[in-house]
Amino acid sequence: MARVFNFSAGPAVLPEPVLEQAREAIWDFAGSGMGILELSHRSSWFDEVITSAEARLARLLKLDQDQQVLFLHGGASTQFFTLPMNFLRGGRATYLDTGIWSAKAIKEAKRYGTVDVPFSSKPERYDRVPQPGELPALPEGTKYLHYTTNNTVAGTQFHWTPEVSGDAFLVGDASSDILSWPIEGSKYGMLYAGVQKNMGPSGMAFAVLRKSLLERAEADLPTMLAYKTHADNSSLFNTPNTFAIYIVERVAAWLEENGGLEGMGQRNKAQADKLYAAIDGGAMWTGLAKPESRSWMNITFTTGDADLDKAFVKEATAAGLNGLKGHRSVGGLRASIYNAMPDAGVDALISFMGEFERTRG
Ligand SMILES: Cc1ncc(COP(=O)(O)O)c(C=O)c1O
């Protein structure tokens, strides 16, 4: 069967060369006579995979020597509670409330300490993120500032990096824009992401952790929930998701061989600009995010008529454009155009929108 253009929010489109390599590797990994799914996580073959994944990600994200790449269980949602469990410890932290994933992180953090929320766009249906200069100084004694770098559901994104002061460190949930544009990874105490959008298959979290922060972590935690366990054992304390790590390594290689994050950022912005121009230029469409906060990854829009949105999704699916339904909490339409979305997919969507407007408008 022919492949369709997959606009799903995640799990999501992956680079075709990576899928082709994975097909081979499932049968025979690097001449080992065993498939990648069958290889021991303690084998020299897998050691090469995980070491290469760590090195490539450190290069792509411009990490410094004090930062460690980790592969963790339980997806991004598990970090919502393991982060405060390790670092909040009855103290106070600042969280920015820019979408349903931020709200979930806030809910979990409140179990472990005081949570200050100086910004929330919830009353405006999360249609924007704060702009530079809009946030107040952090309260005295703040342990960390947590924010969602890209809001998958609302379709908003920080195109800048918040500052922290004093002993506070910066934490980003970058689940839906990790590796999509050049960032200064060294600004983060912790950066994490569920890997199922821009990095690989579902069921694993990727994290960058500043090792020196581990001195501040709660010591008495269940072993698997202490970041120190995973840092001390290079993500191999127990059996990690070996297949996901293999795919992440191949995706990182694909990025390094195709212009790095600079090239990726340019391609992503060009695709997003083109799609927003089609939304703004057509009479039928309204973008759901405020222009200055618009995401380059998740483009949210609507016809303003729920039945028409539904018809659009149905007809687009029949035309080979999959996954365009908005999140169930927002409705409308959403085109997720992660790193692996080809230009041809965006062009096909724009041309389909034009035709739909011409015949249904
Ligand atoms: C921004 C953001 N954070 C967290 C999550 C949750 O990720 P996981 O399903 O890996 O727990 C998602 C999932 O879509 C997300 O978009």
Q: Are residues 266 and 198 in the same domain?
A: no
Task: Spell 262-272 as b/e; 16+ CB within 10 A means b.
Answer: eebbebbeebb
CB under 8 Å to 138, separation ≥6 — which residues? 94, 116, 145, 164, 165, 166, 168
Give the residue, by CA position, lying nearest to ligand 1 atom 2. Answer: 175
**pLDDT given at position 1:** 76
CATH code assigned at 346: 3.90.1150.10
List the catalytic residue out of 97, 127, 143, 173: 173
10 inside domain: no
197 is catalytic: yes
CA 181 to centroid of ligand 1, rounded, Å: 19
Q: Which helix (H) or strand (E) holds 254?
A: helix 242-257
**pLDDT given at position 2:** 87
Q: Are residues 156 and 32 in the same domain?
A: yes
Residue in 148, 144, 96, 145 with CA at minimum distance from that of residue 122: 96
Q: Are residues 94 and 132 in the same domain?
A: yes
CA 182 to centroid of ligand 1, rounded, Å: 21
Q: Are 340 and 196 in contact (CB under 8 A)?
A: no
Tens of pLDDT, residue by residue over 126-175, are 999 999 999 999 999 999 999 999 999 999 999 999 999 999 999 999 99
Q: Are residues 222 and 318 in the same domain?
A: no
- Here the tokens at position 189 are 């105490």
Give the residue, by CA position, lying nearest to ligand 1 atom 4. Answer: 76
Q: Are residues 166 and 187 in the same domain?
A: yes
For residue 11, say if its preceding peptide bond is cis, omega within 30 degrees of 0: yes
- DSSP conformation class of 268: H
**pLDDT given at position 305:** 97
Give the residue, by CA position, lying nearest to ligand 1 atom 5. Answer: 76
Q: Strand pairing partners for 95?
A: 146
Q: Of 225, 242, 257, which residue is a domain's last?
A: 257
List the catalytic residue out of 143, 181, 197, 254: 197
Residues with C-beta less than 6 Å from any ligand 1 atom: 10, 75-77, 101, 148, 152, 173, 175-176, 194
Residue 300's domain comprises 260-360
Distances in Å between the Cα of 333 and the Cα atoms of 7, 154, 155, 329 are: 10, 11, 10, 12
- Phi, psi angle pair for 212, to nearest 5°: -65, -20
- Here the tokens at position 27 are 């049968």
Residues of the chain with pLDDT under 70: none
- Here the tokens at position 70 are 């980790």
240 inside domain: yes
Q: How many domains does the chain have?
A: 2
Query: Alpha-carbon distance 343 to 7, whole Å?
Result: 12
CATH code assigned at 111: 3.40.640.10
**pLDDT given at position 361:** 78
Coil, helix or strand for 166? coil
Q: Are residues 180 and 280 in the same domain?
A: no
Query: Alpha-carbon distance 354 to 359, whole Å?
Result: 9
Q: Are residues 202 and 281 in the same domain?
A: no
Residue in 343, 292, 298, 349 with CA at minimum distance from that of residue 320: 349
42 inside domain: yes
64 is catalytic: no
- Give the count of beta carbons closer than 10 Å to the beta carbon of residue 181: 21
- Sequence letter at residue 20: E
